A and B are shown apart, each in its own frame.
Chain A
Amino acid sequence: MATQTRMPVAAGEAAAVVDRIRVSVPDRGIRHDVRAVGIVWRRELIRFRTDRLRAITSLVQPFLFLFILGTGLSTLAGGGLPHTGSFDFKTFIYPGVLAMSVLFTAIFSAGSIVWDREFGFLREILVAPVSRAAIVIGKCLGGTTIATFQGVIFLCLAWFAHVPYNPALLLSLIGLLLLLSFTLTAFGVMMAARIKQFQAFMALTQMLVLPLFFLSGALYPLTGLPAWLTVLTRLDPLTYIVGPMRHLVFSYLHVPPQVAGLISTHLAPSITWAGWVVPIWLSLGIVAAMGLVMTAVAIAEFSKTE
């Protein structure tokens, strides 16, 4: 069995002696931290690559929303959306569902921290002579990468929602997906720092994810809502990314001018705070700032458990 392999290393022995001398772990420095970020990120990718089932299952939900719900509700609107005549409902919900396609992947990738804690691997990470920040950042970037990758797969289906494959549009959307994925992963990592059981983490995130999705205006326009709902939608961070995404997608649609006017007033209105129009840069800034703050909180949490 395995024991035999210990013998035939005679050739490697001389080399090994030299190598043993060279193994001297350096003092902590930026380069060391960067390597730590890199390996935590890479582990996330390896785990994702080997777990194809997860990649497929997390695409099922956005699929259902776009094709089943989207098609079904189209008939309710009589072949087109009110105000616009022939505007497909699938096109309307596509940006929101695109956001959804990264939602679960991002948060559950962070959930693997809780899993690692339960199965011991987190200990291996936390006893290493490396800064907690490097570990948290690596984790956030890993989740960001695989979630964005999921989003890109969903992006390939744009044609079914009558969204054109315009390179500039696709690149901008990928940029927005990166931002969204990062903030969501940071949120997940922050939660995972505190929650010790995987089941509890799943239950809690499930409970939070759907309201976040529903309140973001992914499935309906943010106009003419009752006051209480208007307030709630403005409190949902997802609102500030779904809005710009829809804006972007609609600006690339080929529609008659009169429909375009209706779109901007009824279907994709700008986000407002008590009448004040929130500019897109601020909208995205809010999302980015939240991601950074949550990353900082997560780093603080993990440093505490040291």
Chain B
Amino acid sequence: MPRRTWRAHLGPCLLLLALVTSCLASSEPARAAVADLTIHMPGEAPLATAGGAPILVAGIWHEVSVNLSAAVGSVAINATLPGAPPEGIRTTYRWTWDAATGSWSDPLYDLFIRPDLSSADSLHLTFVVGLDAQALPGLWRFLVFEGSTLSAGFDVAVEAPVLSYGLSAADFDFQAEPFTATDLSSRPSGQYIRVTNQGNVPLRLAASFDVLQGELSIENPTDVAHVYHDAHYFVRLAASPRPPAIIEVRGVSRVEALYVVPSSGAATINPSVEGTFSLALRIGRSGYALRVVGNVVFQTLESIRADYGAIATWQVYISGEQNVSLTIEVSNGRLVGAFAGGQALSFPATLAVTGNTEMPVTVQVQADRPGAASVTFTIHLLTTGDTRTFTTTILVKGGPPALDPTSAFLWILGSIAAALVFGFVSVSQWRAHRIRRAGRVSNALGGRPKRGYNYRRRMRSQRRWNANGNRGKGKPSQSRGTRTTRFR
């Protein structure tokens, strides 16, 4: 296109653009009467997109509040999805308020407004309205009219409803002493339930337990799981006195969507969600392991520590609804004895147990061998015939000293050398003994016995002493000069 021609068209284009702009502007005249518009679900904080547009979730009732700067006679809100074909409940809504009659209405469907919950004063209107769950998500345009005059327009982000519920739970493990009232909280141990609402729908929350309903509770419960929010709850147990037992509890946390807008179709099926969690109440002595066989509970220690050679003494407890036969066996240790009711037990021992009391059995085991010893308790229920074994480990501290390999090797070498020396000495002694014996025999036969170095030395000294007329001091057999000693 030639430059002159292009410039010739520029003027009309700008004029057309100005006209279009002015027309668009005049379609939503900025009137001072409507100051702002806020949207939120009942009991929830307003939600907004990153760009600041308020969020409205389809299928859920919302409070749409219009703040006025001056009193007006009537207000209407038209909500549409720009650019979409008019598809009724999927794209188009209208709600009205009439000051003269105080009436609220949904003239299009007579379904998506709650007159009973909507309210108005002179400058503030709150429409409790909703879109059908089938309304198309997108950036809608909400236009506010005073009478028939458009007062203001707002972009509103419409989202599809999402129900999302997460339940996180610790291994709740409560311990209560037998026959003792208990009031426990999971808070000190950091065991909690975490309820997470990651959807855009507020949820009604309820929790229940299949047993111990009157004794288990959620601390500081709330009945609403708020949108995009999680909350921690601790569990409290206020239990009455009970005999030893392990009680397994299944907890159920249930949520369902709040403020659901009824659909206009033939049927609407709304979802709710349940999550489960487990608790265990262990009624038994602190530090003891509970073992259950039939209707009998056996309490023992998982492990105990004992010094090498010492006698370990502890008590186990049996309670239940039938008599039992008890056998105790020890491996890598010595069973010193077992006593119940002041009497020594011989095995198998028949014990009369009840559910109302715990029968203590005192066990004594000597850790007479290094390493771990194990004590096996065999419980045989005399009525039902059930048999179970339980084990307590005795961790033995210390023991006979052990040599390291190097030292052991050197000790072996030394022992061999010592044995050789002993052998040599013994042979020498034996030979000397034989020679002396042979000398005595020879002397007895008239021969001259063999004399040793010391003998010859003493004889030389004797001769010298005799030659000097016994003038010396001391006896010649006593030491003179350096003396050497031969092993004999």
The answer to whether A and B come from one shared complex is no
Q: Chain B: residues with CB nearer than 8 A to chain A? A: none
